[in-house]
Amino acid sequence: MNIGLVLSGGTGTRMGTELPKQYGTIAGKPVLVHTLEQFQRCAEIDFVVAVAAPEWEPRIWNWKEAYSLSKLTAIAFAGPSRQQSIRNGLLAAEPFAGTELDNIIVQDAARPLTSQDLLSRLLQGLKEAPCVMPVLPVTDTTYTSRGGEWVDGLLDRGTLYAGQAPEAFHYQPYLKLYRETPTDVLSSMSGSCQLPWSRGWKVKMIPGEPGNLKITYPMDLDICEKTLLEMEGSV
């Protein structure tokens, strides 16, 4: 069984708007709906769990009906950090999970352009490793600086990769990690792969997608909307 977990608890402060970015409308639908539709269209995904602030739960259930998101099975409440939100989502999926062979893909709600091919390649990668992450090679010259004013060093960009979401995991071992890890330790981490990597898991990297944009700034909304409309043949 393959599970989709969509994290939709962020406040979108870098957007400079009151409405969290994942609930803004592009190409006629909320960003979150576009992201949920990725999993709805993916034949390999069996059910989906969303993680959101409690005040958004009624609206998300309404969107399930309005946009025929039949795979959306549960909504978990977001925690005070990304890692605690992941834990809440993993626990919400447990009553619907099947066997030790279950997999889970953890996705950001603000990534509406992830392709079906990437979702499939993540699941394929889980046949070789318990944890799979899409990456892009770093192409810019990259420097280090302790204070942000003076250059301290130069990194070898040939060894550097930028991680993307979604990321995929063997579900039961991943859930076990989150059950056993104290909240204060979780809160000190960021990416979905950071906890398993810190516990000695082998993290497999696969090629990411330059077009798999995460909406962070206002201009990203325009780029995503244009791309979605082009994909739908509306431009």
The CB density around residue 127, as the number of other CB atoms within 10 Å, is: 9
**25-34 burial, b for 16+ CB within 10 Å, e for fewer?**
ebbebbbbbb
Q: Would you state the pLDDT for residue 38?
A: 97
Separation of alpha carbons 96 and 219, rounded Å: 38
What does the pLDDT average to over 104-118?
Answer: 97
Q: Would you state the pLDDT for residue 85?
A: 96
Model confidence over 19-74: pLDDT tens digits? 889 999 999 999 999 999 999 999 999 999 999 999 999 999 999 999 999 999 99
Sign of CA dihedral 82, 59, 93, 213: negative
Q: Is the confidence at residue 231, as pLDDT, over 90? A: no
- Predicted TM-score (pTM) of the model is 0.93
DSSP state of 36: H
Separation of alpha carbons 101 and 107, rounded Å: 20
Model confidence over 135-191: pLDDT tens digits? 999 999 999 999 999 999 999 999 999 999 999 999 999 999 999 999 999 989 988
Average pLDDT, the chain: 93
